[in-house]
Amino acid sequence: MVYDAEDTRRRIFDAAAAEFAEHGLAGARVDRIATAARANKQAIYLYYGSKEKLFAAVLRAKLEEVRVSVSLDPDAVAESVGQMFDWYREHPELIRLLLWEALEAGDEPGEGERERRDAFREKVHHLVDGGVACHLPEDARVRAAQDLLFTVMGLISWNFAVPGMCRLVLDEETDQAALARRRETVVEAARRLATANPAATPPARGG
């Protein structure tokens, strides 16, 4: 049988994503990743260099996945938030990875921080170009768009960071029932944020 390097990398990546989401960086074990991936440990170090670099590669790929899958449309904020909510419900591992990163990271900037910052700047400028906070000076528009983006991210992600707490607070029997309620609430909250902000829709240009 011909060795398929790309398939091996994919299996390692998938196994690592599951291992890191469950155990974090410190608690993850390369031997468990190798076993789940049906690969040897040497292949992991060959392709990724170290456990730390493998974690960074997994997190970077997951962030890129959500970036290309959904975005915050300045003309349809509520609808975009609903799509983002659904994406995170289908991919809960990203929230877990981000929580592990926050718990285990030191004070120094993490690997890929500049790349991730640039990606968020791109999202912010997309909102500004779409008319968010158009009544404000340019620098204030950027800050308003940053705040809107982070507020929306918080509205969505907390539901998946603490699903058990979500179920208890809402007094629902299952996580699924609680999340169904939360989706409606989060989308409505986003709609109100957009409509309450006169910058969400550019003013009409009169002749």
Per CATH, the homologous superfamily of domain 1-59 is: Homeodomain-like (1.10.10.60)
Q: Which of 33-42, 84-93, 123-132, 190-199 bottoms out in mean pLDDT, i.e. has the lowest?
A: 190-199
Best CA proximity match to 146, nearest among 129, 123, 112, 130: 123
**Mean pLDDT to the nearest integer, 139-159:** 92
The model's pTM:
0.81
Q: What's the pLDDT score for residue 3?
A: 62
pLDDT of residue 32: 96
Find the range with the poorest average confidence among 53-57, 101-105, 152-156. Answer: 101-105
pLDDT at position 74 over 70: yes
d(CA 199, CA 132): 5
Token look-up 């449309």 returns 73
Interatomic CA distance for residues 200 and 6, integer angstroms: 44
User: What SS3 class is residue 136?
Assistant: coil
pLDDT score at 205:
46
Angle separating helix axes 138-161 and 93-104, nearest 10 degrees:
100
CA distance 108 to 88: 28
Q: In 72-99, which positions are buried (b, 16+ CB within 10 angstroms) versus exposed (e)? A: bebeebbebbbbbbeebbebebbbbbeb
- Per-residue pLDDT at 76 exceeds 70: yes
Is the model's pLDDT at 94 over the cut of 50? yes
Q: Does position 111 have pLDDT exceeding 70, yes or no? A: no
Cβ neighbors of 45 (< 8 A, separation 6 or more) are: 30
Judged on CB neighbours under 10 Å (0-12, 13-18, 19+), 127 is: buried
Domain ranges of the chain: 1-59, 70-207
Name the one residue in this structure whose structure tokens are 């960086």.
Answer: 25
Angle at 200 between CA 195 and CA 202, to 5 degrees: 125
Whole-number Å distance between alpha carbons of 62 and 66: 6
User: Using one digit for the tens of pLDDT, what is the confidence trace for 12-22?
Assistant: 999 999 999 99
